[in-house]
Chain A
């Protein structure tokens, strides 16, 4: 294989960012806006805002097979196809092209393209609090976070003001308020449930989402089509493609190279620094090297850990920055399988118009003092759900018969229902880990990722509690036919993987320091989900973005002062 080193000048930048998803996009924007010549490497194809959203304006009848996946999709991509439909299929990989090994079932959902999964994310934005940052220290699971809420709070402000987050201030210590655009409104069954639940710290609020309730940064507002994952032609929600990458390009300092699979980070023991990265071109399979003063690794939790593990040198025989042997370990994902649903007989004369792309949130109400409680499990969960009138997709299987009566029922609004489920914290377990299988290679000669993950006793007990408290809340609010459920989805299904290169105070037990720097390679920064020392129960992307902006600020200062 040819190694094209090119001219050093042409392949040398101030900064390299590996990955263009929600955190890589932020690194690209921040570093280029600070004046650093920045190269973003993306392993997949380019996706240009609006231009490359081919299904965004299609009506249901304009899809050949409706929104059904074909047999070919299902057999070639059994994991991804469970997460996509013909409307957003093009933003997910093909499982056959990118295989991985599962010791236990784990759904690794991926979008290898510019923008990554920021195109298809759930857009929910919640701050962590000191209840979360202190949790590991208090109950002894994992290691202590090297930061506290005060360290990240200004960066939450900074990110929220830029991306635009709609939401309602609630003045809760476990879920700090942010800088919100006007909230979306709860519908009447949700308002009813909210008034029934309200009791001190327990309340129901509208979801806090990166959907714009008014125009913002030349984007939006949201048109309430609820087709976000196809890409929004109105720029109604935040993605790398609609926001951070264009901002980076506007500086003239940003270069994007797509189809660039980073295989390893090159380390120089004489300077104790990384000098650059090695890349395989996805199409030509030719190898390239790129060099920079600083490297931001934002390849997503599992991708980032596998690049570190694959970056072997005399100094780091087990992978770059892996003296602690923690790289790849402590993999976490939120569970979101347990909850309850029910039907309400009132409000028959009320309806709604528009498709709100967000539900409601019942912030965490368990173990709020952070100490061990008599509930039988540690940490907590929030409930996410939505109220609606049953429409034809919910009704047709329960309406017997056919003909005129059937059609009349099918085409009129049914009773109000609420569905809600617990998004729950997963403890960091050393044995939940990813590793590389050197005997099995992908089409680019890279070792396959092996994932060994399961939820354990604490998560199972928490799911039981979610079922009972959510059913209780619905019953108290007068819902009928309340049924608690547990879908028992495998790990990965919530698409919140994190933790494989955790931050910590001690280089012996953690991979990154309080600035998201590799403890022993100070010019490598990791700010995707892999830095998460604990998972908390909040949807994590906002925290990745805030920590990225914070780390970029620190990295730039260090470069300016000549320290790295």
Chain B
């Protein structure tokens, strides 16, 4: 049983369940998240992030410890509804993998991992379409949009991402306004 089903079962025994699904939905978004549970998902987050930014000739998200960054941001810099949206999204990924491939995401093949993320990206685009702005502010960005954004920011601001994936210039010392672009030019890591 995963985290969310456990909550549902508890709720089923309580008077709250008479409020029906919408009541559950409301409760589940605004109840205080047991955010410590996010540490149980560390491997899953790492694999998801690595699928978004894989290792190539430069480090990928996992090597850049993006999973730790994402856990920090969800824990310290996100509202309760955002935390719940994110934890629910992780559960959705697990559920989807179980019902389609009968295994956990981390054990899926590369092809399966890509299929899973494609499914969630399309779902998030659909969600952005129907969610109005107020909802987005209240509930946070859809799971996949948030995951992708945090993966990118965590990677590009990491030691490995900034100095190897991108071009990091700690103290430029001068400004060269117009210079020819170099072969395989990397983007500057900071602005």
Contact = CB atoms under 8 A, between A and B. Distances in A.
B56 interface: yes
Contacts, number: 152
Given A66-B73, A397-B149, A224 B159 contact: no
A322 to B, nearest CB: 43
Contact of A185 (B73, B175, B190, B191): B175
Interface stretch (B12-20, B76-84, B90-98): B76-84
B110 to A, nearest CB: 9
Interface string A329-341: 0000000000000
Interface residues of B, number: 49
Q: Which of A184, A400, A412 has the most CB of B within 10 A?
A: A412
A436 B172 CA distance: 48
A66 B170 contact: no
B77 A391 contact: no
Contact of A65 (B51, B72, B159): B72
Given A60-B162, A224-B175, A351-B181, A71 B52 contact: no
Contacts of B106: none
Interface string B43-57: 000000001111010
Contact of A352 (B148, B162, B165, B177): B177
A191 B117 CA distance: 43
B176 interface: yes
A65 B175 contact: no
Q: Which of B51, B152, B180, B185 has the most CB of A within 10 A?
A: B152
B174 interface: yes
B153 interface: yes
A559 interface: no
Interface of A is mostly: loop
Interface in A37-81: 59-61, 64-72
A397 B53 CA distance: 14
Nearest to A348: B181
B173 interface: yes
B72 A392 contact: no
A406 interface: yes
Q: Which 6 A-B pairs have the closest CB atoms?
A: A354-B172, A354-B175, A185-B177, A60-B157, A402-B52, A68-B77
Interface of B: 51-54, 56, 58, 69, 72-73, 76-79, 114, 117, 121, 148-149, 152-154, 156-159, 162, 165-166, 168-181, 185-191
23 contacts: A59-B159, A60-B158, A61-B159, A64-B72, A65-B73, A65-B76, A72-B76, A187-B178, A188-B178, A223-B171, A349-B180, A351-B179, A353-B169, A353-B172, A393-B153, A402-B51, A402-B117, A403-B51, A407-B54, A407-B56, A410-B53, A410-B187, A412-B187
Interface of A: 59-61, 64-72, 184-188, 191, 223-226, 348-356, 388-389, 391-393, 396-397, 400-404, 406-408, 410-414
